[in-house]
């Protein structure tokens, strides 16, 4: 999960965030950016290419924390713009029912999702985007994959912390898991 320091009101200072992470789950939103055809069928899935703190290159989803006093919809839009650029033109669903809820634990094996920093609860969404995506912040690139390519072991194995499991759940949710 992305963890950039921000200066937005309601954001925790680094020491406050560490204290909160040690005591309670942190709420996140995650988005699987997709391209859809005229009938609404998913044709492509966008995966971000990032360099982790340890220097490893991996593929990830759009992800980030929900700020204090921020609506989930606003957090989702903020992270989509932060990761995909201001002209990605995401179409956030009218109903904010996530396709799944992922629980990340600092202990391996509790769930398929792992974040060594914290216990986090993430609301996961599939979000069609129609505009030009130009990654910003800590993302190096955004690569569009067909559903078949995205679900391949080669791609899934490049996704740390359980994002590969989340991607497979998203593809199954839209009927595109091969």
DSSP 67: P
Q: What is the pTM of this model?
A: 0.88
**What's the pLDDT score for residue 1?**
53
Nearest Cα residue to 1 out of 85, 168, 122? 122
Superfamily in which the 14-173 domain is placed by CATH: Nucleoside Triphosphate Pyrophosphohydrolase (3.90.79.10)
Which residue stretches of the chain have pLDDT < 70?
A: 1-11, 178
| Whole-Å CA distances, 93 to 20, 36, 96, 136, 158 | 30, 14, 6, 23, 28
Return the pLDDT at 159: 96
Please report the pLDDT score of residue 22 as a whole number: 80
Query: What pLDDT is attached to residue 21?
Result: 77
pLDDT at res. 100: 97
**Domain range list for the chain:** 14-173
């Amino acid at each position: 999960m992305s963890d950039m320091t921000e200066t937005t009101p309601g954001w925790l200072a680094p020491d406050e965030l560490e204290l909160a992470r040690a005591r309670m789950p942190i709420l996140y939103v995650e988005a699987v950016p997709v391209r859809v055809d005229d009938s609404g069928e998913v044709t492509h899935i966008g995966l971000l290419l990032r360099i982790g703190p340890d220097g490893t290159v991996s593929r990830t989803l759009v992800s980030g924390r929900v700020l204090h006093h921020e609506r989930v919809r606003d957090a989702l839009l903020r992270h989509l713009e932060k990761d995909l650029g201001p002209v990605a033109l995401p179409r956030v669903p009218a109903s904010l029912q996530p396709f799944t809820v992922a629980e990340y634990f600092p202990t391996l094996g509790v769930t398929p999702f792992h974040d060594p920093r914290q216990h986090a609860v993430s609301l996961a969404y599939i979000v069609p985007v129609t505009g030009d995506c130009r990654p910003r912040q800590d993302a190096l690139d955004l690569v569009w994959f067909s559903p078949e390519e995205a679900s391949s072991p080669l791609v899934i194995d490049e996704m740390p912390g359980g994002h590969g499991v989340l991607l497979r759940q998203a593809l199954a949710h839209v009927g595109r898991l091969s």
